[in-house]
Amino acid sequence: MTESTVTERTVTDDPATDELVTGDAVTGDTVTAGAALAGPDGALRCPWALSAAEYVTYHDEEWGRAVHGDDALYERLSLEAFQSGLSWITILRRRPGFRAAFADFRIAEVAQFTDADRERLLADAGIIRNRAKIDATLANARVLAEWSPGELDAFIWSYAPDPAGRTAPRTLSDVPAVTPESTALSKALKKRGLRFVGPTTAYALMQACGLVDDHLADCVARRRP
């Protein structure tokens, strides 16, 4: 295996510029084809899982596993928004810093952040200091703080497609960037007042939180208990 065989998804929140990238090269609406690859332990995994050491654990233990709970889903939604235009490894390596900066993404606490907190975030080298993304994360917390307990969880999971109607992808080229469900979820979240939730970001959320299983058919982590 060489690095050139590994493709990593990068999302943008603007539906007009949703892209996938391989390394630093924009590849547009397609994903470079790639079958499951053997890792150091000999097990087959999605190729992107082998592009960085931190990815193996994330791929095996988190990505595609069901995530429930309003705060947990708010964290995933926020981090997927911060990923927009970047590779996920950039966010994953800064996740501890994000959690420290955003009170572990507890909605009720982030909703109370002040202008001073906003300035603190803009100066925090431990996160992505993007003004629009920070403002969206704070605004989303204020919106979600008005929702009933469990409402965000139920709302997001109501857009999970029937797994019986989905064929396991054989290669990365079989994995979509956007689906009708992610487009509908994006529109519904925006209608409820949430920001930075384009259809590609929404689909990345669905993948990460287990609403869909996009582990390749031969991947060791596919629907593993």
For residue 57, the model assigns a pLDDT of 94
Given a contact cutoff of 8 angstroms between Cβ atoms, the answer to whether 111 and 144 are in contact is: yes
For residue 34, the model assigns a pLDDT of 85
Q: How confident is the model at residue 78 (pLDDT cuts 50, 70, 90)?
A: very high
For residue 33, the model assigns a pLDDT of 54
pLDDT digits (tens, 9 = 90+) for 146-194: 999 999 999 999 999 998 888 999 999 999 999 999 999 999 999 999 9
pLDDT digits (tens, 9 = 90+) for 48-70: 999 998 999 999 999 999 999 99
217: exposed, middle or buried (C-beta count within 10 Å: 0-12, 13-18, 19+)?
middle
Q: How confident is the model at residue 206 (pLDDT cuts 50, 70, 90)?
A: very high
> Which residues are CB-neighbours of 195 under 8 A, at least 6 positions away?
81, 135, 136, 139, 140
Assess whether 80 carries a catalytic annotation: yes
> Which residues are CB-neighbours of 10 under 8 A, at least 6 positions away?
19, 20, 21, 83, 85, 86, 87, 88
Q: What percent of the chain has pLDDT over 70?
A: 84
Residue of 63, 74, 88, 159 marked catalytic:
88
Residue of 58, 109, 147, 157 marked catalytic:
58
Domains of the chain, CATH where assigned: 1-225 (1.10.340.30)
Q: Which of 41-45, 109-113, 156-160 has the lowest mean pLDDT?
A: 41-45
Element (H, E) at 20: strand 20-22
Assess whether 63 carries a catalytic annotation: no
For the entire predicted model, the pTM comes to 0.85
Q: What percent of the chain has pLDDT over 90?
A: 79
Q: List, as one string, the DSSP characters of 23-55.
A: TTEEEET-----B-EE-TTS-EE-GGGGSSHHH
- State whether residue 8 is helix, strand or coil: strand
Sign of CA dihedral 181, 31, 210, 162: positive
68 is in an annotated binding site: no
C-alpha 113/C-alpha 146 separation (Å) is: 15
Residue of 8, 63, 75, 80 marked catalytic:
80
Q: Which residue has the higher pLDDT, 15 or 46?
A: 46
219 is in an annotated binding site: yes
How far the first Cα of the chain sits from its last, in Å, is 28
Half-sphere exposure of 41 (CA within 13 A, CB side): 11
